[in-house]
Structure 1
Amino acid sequence: MPSCQPLNRMKKVLTAQAEAEKIRRIGEAEAGSIEAIGKAEAEKMRLKAEAYQHYGEAAKTALVLEALPKIAGKVAAPLAQTSEIVILSRDGSRVTGEVNRLLAELPVSVNALTGVDLMKIPFLQKMTNPQA
């Protein structure tokens, strides 16, 4: 009776080689996909940068103003978990004063974060300085 061990061994070796080849091909395909995605994203960023260079100040300001609600949403997100806010004050005008101070600092903060001076926008100039 001939031994089946060499045949079984050869079958295991061939199966292992086939599995290794399968893994190699899957890896190559995934690497190619990742490379293509990376190149596409880089091209997208390059095109955006090129477009931004052609934008005027008004277009840049419009982009910032469009992004402000999203920024405010992210900043305010933790407050969504708050069920109640209690403000203690002997004089209610202090609360109003604090809110006014925070609003006055907003354009400075936006300028620091984005480089866009909101106070150069005519509409906002009229709101903050009625004599303008």
Structure 2
Amino acid sequence: MQQLAEGQKMKTVLIAQAEAEKIKKIGEAEASSIEAVGKAEAEKMRLKAEAYQQYGEAAKIALVLEALPKITSKVAAPLAKTNEIVILSGEGSRVTGEVNRLLAELPVSVNALTGVDLSKIPLLQKMTSAEA
């Protein structure tokens, strides 16, 4: 009877230990899974932030480049109807110098930003050749 009782006791202890080990292993597996998911989500967020940062700059540049032709066409529309521009200024006036500077810098700036070569526009060719 005593051996049966000890056997039963040993069985109960071993079953309890096995159950405890099972619970421990399940907990460790769940913790490992949560950690892996957390790390993956953190990496995903980091990559997303990096992509948004790059996209943000690209989006700004795209918006500017998209708007430039519209702005340029609105500004150039009256000039397209002009055959000749004569600028009158007195001595000591900075108007001529400023206009010449603008005419010299504008085509280069627009070309750098948009790739459009304004120096091939007949009116601007005429104006810049008149300067020289």
Class of the TM-score when normalised by the shorter of the 2 chains: 0.3 to 0.5
- Output the TM-score relative to the length of structure 1: 0.42
The structure having more radius of gyration, on CA atoms, is 2
